[in-house]
């Protein structure tokens, strides 16, 4: 275990314990500090303390950092398309067919397994040595996702998602000809009561879900569009496009069986933007459509 000791200065007096320690310990989030305080890993003058206690000058704080536990997932040497990486964040262009998290039926071969091998400098998220998956994209959706490498980065990126300040743009081919250039689907999404493995637009258990779309090109039976997420519900684009009568081509769960020749849905997370958690720099990344989607689009264009 690592131990850190701090003596409160005159300038730091009357600051909450959790706030002060967050400022003093660069890579640790406030929520993690609060958890350590709750678990008794933080003492003030050798006694337990509460997160909201306001320190006095010359108070002595001791933080005993518990050893991070190993995640059950094992590191695997799986190639990754790394678009950007530094000490706080890694941006990956995930291929179609790769699961993000280990789960029943997919214990290995996932993005997490690959990241555990790739990132030798993971200090741990919330006391667990693991990459901080901030958001997910479905197994058969390709494209960009951001991963935090420490607590503070994870907290910042999650907060940005909650505040709807991240930029997430998807390219997709959907069934049917959409007659207008722009549209917004504002419809709550929750678990489908008739099929617990699926999501649906529902008022019963639905949470706010907003998708903005722009039609780029139309064909005889399909439309090529971009979708910008305002929220990030499970299967959001797939559910919303089905809801308005234009399901994503190739979608095995929400689309028709007779569709374009592609393994999985024709959906690609092409643009990802966020504020860097340490530097405050605005960062935007782009990933080109995968080859199979390009081939489909070219066939549709040539068939006109």
Q: What is the pLDDT of residues 109-160, one digit of tens each?
A: 889 889 888 887 666 655 555 678 888 899 999 999 999 988 889 889 989 9
The per-residue pLDDT for 165 is 95
Rg of the chain taking only CA atoms, in angstroms: 23
Cα 101 to Cα 84, 106, 268, distances in angstroms: 20, 8, 18
Three-class secondary structure of residue 272 per DSSP: strand
Dihedrals phi, psi of 298, to nearest 5 degrees: -65, -40
Distance between CA atoms of 150 and 89, rounded to whole angstroms?
Answer: 8
Which residue is listed with tokens 């258990």?
Answer: 205
The per-residue pLDDT for 127 is 54
The per-residue pLDDT for 28 is 74
Q: Residue 203 in contact with residue 187, Cβ under 8 Å?
A: no
The model carries a pTM of: 0.76
The per-residue pLDDT for 104 is 60
Dihedrals phi, psi of 113, to nearest 5 degrees: -60, -45
Which of 267, 208, 210 has the alpha carbon at shortest distance from 238? 267
The per-residue pLDDT for 69 is 53
DSSP 72: S
Q: Is 138 a catalytic residue?
A: yes
The per-residue pLDDT for 283 is 98
The per-residue pLDDT for 75 is 83
What's the token pair of residue 157?
């990126």
The per-residue pLDDT for 126 is 57
Q: Which of 138, 151, 251, 292 is catalytic?
A: 138
Residues 6+ away with beta carbon under 8 Å from 102? 72, 73, 108, 110, 112, 113
Three-class secondary structure of residue 31 per DSSP: helix
Q: Residue 125 in contact with residue 151, Cβ under 8 Å?
A: yes
The per-residue pLDDT for 239 is 97
Question: DSSP secondary structure string, 215-258?
Answer: EEEE-SSEEEEEEEESS--TTHHHHHHHHTT-PBTT-TTTS-SS
How many residues are listed for the chain in this entry?
A: 304
Low-confidence residues of the chain: pLDDT under 70? 1, 26-27, 67-72, 103-106, 121-130, 196
């Amino acid at each position: 275990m690592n131990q850190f000791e701090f003596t409160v200065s005159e300038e730091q007096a009357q600051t909450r314990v959790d706030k002060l320690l967050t400022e003093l310990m660069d890579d640790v989030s406030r929520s993690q500090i609060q958890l350590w305080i709750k678990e008794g890993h933080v003492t003030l003058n050798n006694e337990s303390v509460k997160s909201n206690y306001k320190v006095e000058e010359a108070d002595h704080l001791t933080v005993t950092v518990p050893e991070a536990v190993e995640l059950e997932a094992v590191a695997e040497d799986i190639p990754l398309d790394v678009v950007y990486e530094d000490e706080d964040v890694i941006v990956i262009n995930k291929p179609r067919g790769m699961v993000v998290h280990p789960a029943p039926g997919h214990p290995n071969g996932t993005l997490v397994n690959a990241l555990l091998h790739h990132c030798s400098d993971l200090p741990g998220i919330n006391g667990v040595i693991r990459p901080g998956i901030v958001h997910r994209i479905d197994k058969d959706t390709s494209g960009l996702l951001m991963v935090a490498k420490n607590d503070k980065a994870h907290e910042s990126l999650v907060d940005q998602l909650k505040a709807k300040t991240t930029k997430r743009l998807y390219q997709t081919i959907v069934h049917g000809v959409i007659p207008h250039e722009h549209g917004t689907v504002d419809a709550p999404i929750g678990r489908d009561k008739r099929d617990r493995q699926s999501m649906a637009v529902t008022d019963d258990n639905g949470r706010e879900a907003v998708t903005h779309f722009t039609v780029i090109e139309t064909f005889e039976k399909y439309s090529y569009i971009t979708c910008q997420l305002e929220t990030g519900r499970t299967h959001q684009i797939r559910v919303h496009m089905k809801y308005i009568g234009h399901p994503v081509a190739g979608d095995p769960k929400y689309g028709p069986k007779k569709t374009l020749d592609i393994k999985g849905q024709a959906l690609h997370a092409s643009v990802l933007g966020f504020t860097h958690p340490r530097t405050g720099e605005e960062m935007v990344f782009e990933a080109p459509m995968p080859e199979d989607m390009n081939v489909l689009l070219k066939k549709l264009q040539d068939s006109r």
